Structure 1
Amino acid sequence: MSRPRIYISRMIPERPLTLLREHCDVHIWQEDTPPPAEEISAQVQQADAFLSMLTEKVDRALIESAPSLKVICNYAVGYDNIDIAAATERGIPVGNTPGVLTEATADQAFTLLLAAARRLPEAIAYVQNGEWKTWNPIQLLGQELHGSTLGIIGLGRIGCAMARRAKGFGMRILYHGGGGCAEEVGAEATSLENLLRESDFISLHTPLTDKTRGLFGAEQFAMMKRSAILVNTARGGIIQTDALLQALQTRQIAFAALDVTDPEPLPADHPLLDLPNCIVAPHLGSATHATRTRMGEMVADDLLRGLRGERLEHCVNPEVYT
């Protein structure tokens, strides 16, 4: 009896990879860059299971071209890169990695917030460029977290983890959307407009949906404080990039700290990368050894479940089982 064939569109940690190789014929794209669309198409057409990354577009055409495909798992908590309706019509369950990356992503968000508030990138460059001559009482003054207001868009798992960190720093917390931990962290529900006007820091933790795509544009930036710092570790498409660029160039807002962008990655010559009031990280929200390994274990387990005809433990379209 032939072993099922799995296509993986990027290298993953060794432990989950070993688990998959014990049960399946595994084919992996070995490069650090995303595979070309024609490579994905050729491989998925022959595959029984597909382990996709958030950079891969798993659209209706790809799904319908793969007659043997039984299960798809996304190496991410988000799945806006997958046509869920098309997969569901084919009876293909789609898995993801919820929960496991919550703390790591909140760490990244708070790291970006702190770096922006205390002007760390600018300060490091100041020293490296030989500009540090003496101590100065008005040199590189940043913003204080204690007593300031953090606005969280999306008080879900990661938003709550972010709120717990903010509470420890003595910040007032406003939120719009979600709210399961509001009482625990002392967060106040408010309208989006009021959150924008009152917050010193705004952190995005909402999924990318039709409703949230382009949520932050020129109108929203105009409502924010000129001293406001915007942090995004969710999805780049929540922010209208051109509007953000203009808001930063005109100092409509003070700073943006981004772990995600639209497009992603940004071209090397993109003007956002030249701004002194913007820092961009290469989508590192879940980038710890422990988290990425656990993500791999979750998707490996669900891929094997799907190949056995069993229900996925983490399934975004459970209606395939009805």
Structure 2
Amino acid sequence: MKKTILAFSRVSPSLLEPYKDDYEVIIISPELGDMDAQFEAAISNAHGLIGGSRRLGEAELAAAVNLEIVSSISVGYDNYDLDYLNRRGIMLTNTPDVLNETTADLALALILATARRIPELDSWTKEGNWTQTIDASQFGCDVHGKTLGIIGLGKIGEAIARRGRFGFGMTILYSGNSRKPKLEQELGARFVPQEELLSASDFVCPVVPLTDATRNLIGRKELALMGPESILINISRGPVADQDALIEALQEKTIRAAGLDVYVKEPLTNSELFNLRNVVTVPHIGSATTDTRNAMAKRALENLLAGLEGRQPRDLVHFKK
């Protein structure tokens, strides 16, 4: 009897087409109607799940009596109930490393966009306001030669630091759970307490997973330490920053600006952030390029097939019998 693969998002039918002789393949699609209803109808038969951006816990998986593995097309896995998956003995995999460079590109794009006020001045120009030579009210701030503070110098943080250091001659400060001597030597990076990083950096970029310890890592106290000329860049997870405190800081201009790819609630359809000129908002596009998403899906498929075939997946997050 064939095992069943249920693809619940971010998977091109062509990726799974070669495996239809060996597996029953079900692909959820908005073209087929309500995606939640499709998921609920198929979950009891599924041995393996592949996709991303769906909350999966006991309520969603109670009927998944055959489930062996969830292969997530993502790096973060805070939307999965790890305790429940552990109790059930269901493997969980993710796709680390594949999106490091692409996400770092976005972080630098947000740094430049906020510093030079690109979206704001694009709208200002298109609205017909450019009727004479610009003055100081349209000025931005420099990026080159400034100080970039990275909270969590993992692989994505490292990729951001390289761009800042070698592309823009920035001074690199970092904080986190451990020192990186090789990177300190290569990048001239300096390991400092988080409080010092916040007060000394022109750009602050947390690059951490969402855990109980990192939730609201950037709150009112931390934003106050940053100062009125600093800019917050968040490409990690929305709840890493206290969104209400951030809005307040942007309104009162206790920080200069923010560049955001992630939010407490997503999709973000109605927010006070939209009324602020000193914030750049993009819709969680850290990995959203064709090449990177295809690479992530292929990596997730490799993990899925390994698990279903009784091999240990390359990117096993956890598995407790």
Aligned equivalents of 1:264, 1:133: Cα separation in 2: 38
Alignment CA distance shift 1:250-1:301 (3 Å): same
| Structure 2 letter corresponding to 1:24 | Y
- State the secondary structure of the residue aligned to 1:150: strand
Give the CA deviation at 1:24: 2.1
TM-score normalised to structure 2 length: 0.92
Distance 2:80 2:273 in 1: 28
Q: Which residue of 2 aligns with 1:40?
A: 39
**SS where residue 30 of structure 2 aligns?**
coil
Residue identity in the other structure for 1:12 = V
Deviation of 1:27 (Å): 1.6
Contact 2:29–2:35 (CA under 8 A) maintained in structure 1: no
Determine if contact 1:96/1:315 at 8 Å carries over to the other structure. Answer: yes
Return the alpha-carbon distance in structure 1 between the equivalents of residues 284 and 179 of structure 2.
25
The alpha-carbon distance between structure 1 residues 35 and 113, as it changes in their structure 2 partners (threshold 3 A), is: farther
Measured in 2, the distance between the counterparts of 1:247 and 1:71 equals 43
Q: Number of matched residues?
A: 316
Shift of residue 19 of structure 1?
4.2
2:133 is aligned to: 135
**Deviation of the 1:20 alpha carbon:** 4.3
Quote the Cα distance in structure 2 between the aligned partners of 1:182 and 1:19: 46
Which secondary structure state, in structure 2, belongs to the residue aligned with residue 193 of structure 1?
helix
Say if 1:9 and 1:40, in contact at 8 Å, map to a contact too. Answer: yes
CA distance in 2, matches of 1:100, 1:292: 9
Match of 1:126 in 2: 124
> Does the Cα contact within 8 Å between 1:9 and 1:35 map onto a contact in 2?
no
Which residue of structure 2 lines up, in the alignment, with residue 223 of structure 1?
A: 225
CA contact (8 A) 1:63 1:87 kept: no
Write out aligned runs for 1:233-272 (5 A): 233-267=235-269, 269-272=270-273
1:173 aligns with 2:172: yes
Q: Separation in 2 of the partners of 1:120 and 1:22? A: 51
Cross-structure match for 2:289: 288
The DSSP-based 3-state class of the residue aligned with 2:259 is strand
Aligned pair 1:111/2:112, yes or no? no
The residue type equivalent to 2:273 in the other structure is L
Displacement after TM superposition at 1:50 (Å): 0.9
Residue identity opposite 2:165 in structure 1: K
* Matches of 2:199 and 2:257, distance apart in 1: 16
* Secondary structure of 2:45 counterpart: coil
One-letter amino acid of the counterpart of residue 42, structure 2? Q
Deviation, 1:85, is 2.3
Give the aligned CA root-mean-square deviation in angstroms.
2.0
Partner of 1:205: 207
Task: Note closer, same or farther for the CA distance 1:165–1:25 as it changes in structure 2 (3 Å cut).
Answer: same
CA–CA separation in structure 1 for the residues paired with 2:131 and 2:190: 45
Q: In the alignment, which residue of structure 2 is the partner of 1:18?
A: 17
Q: Distance in 1 between matches of 2:93 and 2:19?
A: 16
Structure 1: which amino acid aligns with 2:6? Y
Q: Secondary structure at the match of 1:257?
A: strand
Contact 1:11–1:30 (8 Å) recurs in 2: no
Unaligned runs of 5+ in 1: none
**Bigger Cα displacement from structure 2, 188-197 vs 37-46:** 37-46
Cα distance between partner residues in 2 of 1:117 and 1:154: 22
Check conservation: 2:10, 2:73, Cα contact below 8 A: no
Query: In structure 2, do the counterparts of structure 1 residues 72 and 35 end up closer, same or farther at CA, with 3 Å as the change threshold?
Result: farther
CA offset digits 1:107-150 (Å, max 9, x no partner): 01110111111111112112211111233353521111122111
1:155 counterpart SS class: coil
What does residue 80 of structure 1 align with? Answer: 78
Gaps of 5+ in 2: none
Q: In structure 2, how many angstroms separate the alpha carbons of the residues matched to 1:218 and 1:288?
A: 34
Q: Residue in 1 aligned with 2:187?
A: 185
Q: Partner residue of 1:89?
A: 87
Is the CA contact 2:43–2:64 (under 8 Å) kept in the aligned structure 1? yes
Tell me whether 1:58 sits opposite 2:56 in the alignment: yes
SS of structure 2 residue aligned to 1:316: strand
**Residues 39, 187 of structure 1: alpha-carbon distance in 2 compared, 3 angstrom cutoff:** same
Deviation at 1:64, TM superposition (A): 4.1
TM-score (norm 1): 0.92
CA, structure 1 residues 110+61, in 2 after alignment: closer, same or farther (shift >3 Å)? same
Report the residue type matching 1:221 in the other structure: L
Matched letter for residue 150 of structure 2? I
